[in-house]
């Protein structure tokens, strides 16, 4: 498990920055996006789970990961119901579903209804947000 975290509302921006580092802070707390194909987690083959870098919550199981070719780690379902929350995102002239950690409210990526598996979903997640276990 990742380090024990306080609730997101009790941490200052500086505390988040110190804990996450610049790139993860920019993505997770400022709704940024990492460069496509920049994360080693785009490669499939990890066995285990993927935890939230912000709070250590279980987000995805490796059995849900697939190679979508989109440039970000992709999953077809969350680790357990309620691990993620979905928020309507109308930024950048698009309408998308933003995916956030239900526990610490960190931005993780987006959800698209174009996945190749039976679920039909593609959770497109910034690798910098994940800790493989």
Measuring CA to CA, which residue among 56, 110, 59 is closest to residue 81? 59
Task: State the Cα torsion 70-26-95-69 to the nearest 10°.
Answer: 0
**Distance between CA atoms of 58 and 49, rounded to whole angstroms?**
7
Question: Is-catalytic flag, 129?
Answer: no
Asked if 125 and 78 touch (Cβ cutoff 8 Å), the reply is no
**Distance between CA atoms of 56 and 93, rounded to whole angstroms?**
32
- Among 42, 55, 124, 129, the one annotated catalytic: 124
Q: Nearest-5° angle of CA 27, CA 125, CA 51?
A: 90
| Catalytic residue set | 124
């Amino acid at each position: 498990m990742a380090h024990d975290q306080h609730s997101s509302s009790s941490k200052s921006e500086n505390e988040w920055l110190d804990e996450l580092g610049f790139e993860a802070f920019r993505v997770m707390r400022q709704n940024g996006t990492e460069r496509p194909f920049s994360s080693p987690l785009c490669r499939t083959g990890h066995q285990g789970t993927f935890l939230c870098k912000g709070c250590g919550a279980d987000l995805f199981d490796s059995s849900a990961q697939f190679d979508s070719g989109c440039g970000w780690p992709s999953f077809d379902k969350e680790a357990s119901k309620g691990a993620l929350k979905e928020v309507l995102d109308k930024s950048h002239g698009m309408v998308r579903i933003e995916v956030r950690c239900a526990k610490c409210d960190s931005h993780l990526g987006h959800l698209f209804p174009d996945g190749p598996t039976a679920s039909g979903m593609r959770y497109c997640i910034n690798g910098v947000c994940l800790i493989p276990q």
